[in-house]
Every structure is written in structure tokens, then in C-alpha cells.
Amino acid sequence: MQRYFVEQTARAGNTFTLSKDDAHHIKNVMRMDVGDEILVLDGTGLFRCRLEQLDKQTAVAELLEELPIETELPIHVTIAYALPKGDKVELVAQKATELGVSRLLVFESARSVSKWDAKKIPKKLERLQKISKEAAEQSYRAHLPTIEYVTYDEVLQCAADYTACLIAYEESAKEGEAAAFASTLSRLQSGDSLLVVIGPEGGLTETEVTRLTAGGFVPASLGRRILRTETAPLYVLSAVSYHFELKG
């Protein structure tokens, strides 16, 4: 059944009012009609609904049943991703959403070649959120990831909010370190949270790594090969899914 993410404000009692874009999609792309059923997700839950009203401007749907959420990772994963070159961050927003990320923090690292002009940040984030929303609908996510642009200091500061914090560190791979990631996951339980920092193309600087480790972040290898910056988040999330959803 087709899924639509709506704002929490879209609900009044047992009625959801969907956006103009969604009304268009329901009517013209899906060619549905009043009486047909859709799934609505508002961040609080997943609801089976029946279309009560449908025109070019609005779609109104009546809540029939709340369904169990079965497509979210058992732990909350936040990826703090150093701004990469070009539009790789778009690939990461899409793929990380498919793979279950809860929150994506984009930050400017010392070696980030790209910079986001302050004026353009809202537009850039809006685009990433749109890509993420489409990926969430397509992959049957129940929650939309949040995407934020933060400073390196804010990444450090938010460590206290997480059960565990890691740095994906290629020097660890070169040194043969192979235990930190798996042993961290083994200590986490359903509902816990994990923050993983991933550096830019040139890697995090020594100063950045030192400040992170002083702040409780543990350097971890992601296998024996050197992954590109946009591949590392996908590895992390795939491994988390494998560990919690398939090995369980």
C-alpha cells in the first residue's frame, strides 16, 4: 500500500489532511479515488487510512487502524558526515535513509574541500530532506530521518546524548584494529543510540581525532580496505542492520 509522510500538524482527531503534492501523487500518479486506502506516517506512528476526499488541492484520509512499526533499526543511528566533494552528500542522504539512519548531521571538517555558503544552507538542507523523504517512502521507513547542518563543536557536544560514539578511522584499518565496531554494537541494546563520525576525502585531522577521542569517541575500523567517504556511512548502517536484525 502506498505510504505518505505527513507533518504531525496534518492530523485532527482521526482525520489526516495531506499536502497538495501528495494529493497530486494520489490522484494523478497512483490514480486512486475516494474509498481507496493509503498508509500515513506522521512521525508518531503508521496508520492505515481511507481516502474521504480527493481533489487537485487536497486529500483527506480517515484513520482506520494503527499498524505496528517493523521497519526501523532497533537502535538509533546518527551519522555525523563531514561535508564531501560535489553532490556525494545527496547519495549518502538517500542511501543512509534506505539503510535506516535516524539522524544525519552534516558538518564542515578542516579538510572538507566543499563549503556551504551560509545563505544556501536552508536550500541545501531542503533538497537533502526531499531526497531522504522519497527514499523513506520507497524503503518502507516509518520515521523520516532528521537532517541538520552543524559545526564540528556541535558534533562533539552532542556526544553526551548517545549511548556510544565512534569515529570511522582509516588509520585504524591500516593498523589492523578490528574489534572496536563489533564490540561496541555488542554492548548496545534495543532503544540505545549510536553516533558515528565520518571524515571527508582527506580524512579527519589529527587535532580533530584527538578532540573526538578526548570526548569519548572510539576510533573504529570498517574492514581492511580504505573506503571512500560516501561508502563508509553505508557500511556502518549495513553492519548495524546485519548485527541487530539478521543475527538477532
Binding-site ranges for its own copies (CB under 8 A)? 70-73, 95, 98-100, 138-141, 176, 178-179, 181-182, 221-228, 231, 234-235, 238-239, 241-243, 245-248
User: Nearest CA to 71 among 145, 1, 140?
Assistant: 140
Q: How far is the CB of 73 from its own copies (least distance, A)?
A: 8
Q: Where are the alpha helices (DSSP H) in the chain?
A: 20-24, 88-98, 121-138, 152-157, 170-174, 180-187, 206-214, 232-241
Q: Which is nearer to its own copies, 20 or 130 (CB)?
A: 130
Tell me if residue 231 falls in helix, strand or coil. Answer: coil
Q: How far is the CB of 200 from its own copies (least distance, A)?
A: 15
Q: Which is nearer to its own copies, 95 or 152 (CB)?
A: 95
Q: How far is the CB of 82 from its own copies (least distance, A)?
A: 18
Gap between the Cα atoms of 220 and 98, Å rounded? 23
Q: How far is the CB of 61 from its own copies (least distance, A)?
A: 22
Gap between the Cα atoms of 32 and 26, Å rounded? 6
Q: Which is nearer to its own copies, 10 or 188 (CB)?
A: 188
Q: How far is the CB of 3 from its own copies (least distance, A)?
A: 11
Q: Cβ(79)–Cβ(105) under 8 Å?
A: yes
Q: Which is nearer to its own copies, 115 or 228 (CB)?
A: 228
Gap between the Cα atoms of 235 and 184, Å rounded? 15
Beta-strand pair 37-41/11-12: unpaired
Q: Which is nearer to its own copies, 191 or 248 (CB)?
A: 248
Q: How far is the CB of 131 from its own copies (least distance, A)?
A: 12
Q: How far is CA 235 from the centre of its chain?
A: 14
Q: Which is nearer to its own copies, 143 or 149 (CB)?
A: 143
Based on the number of CB atoms within 10 Å of its own CB, is 1 exposed (0-12), middle (13-18) or buried (19 or more)? Answer: exposed
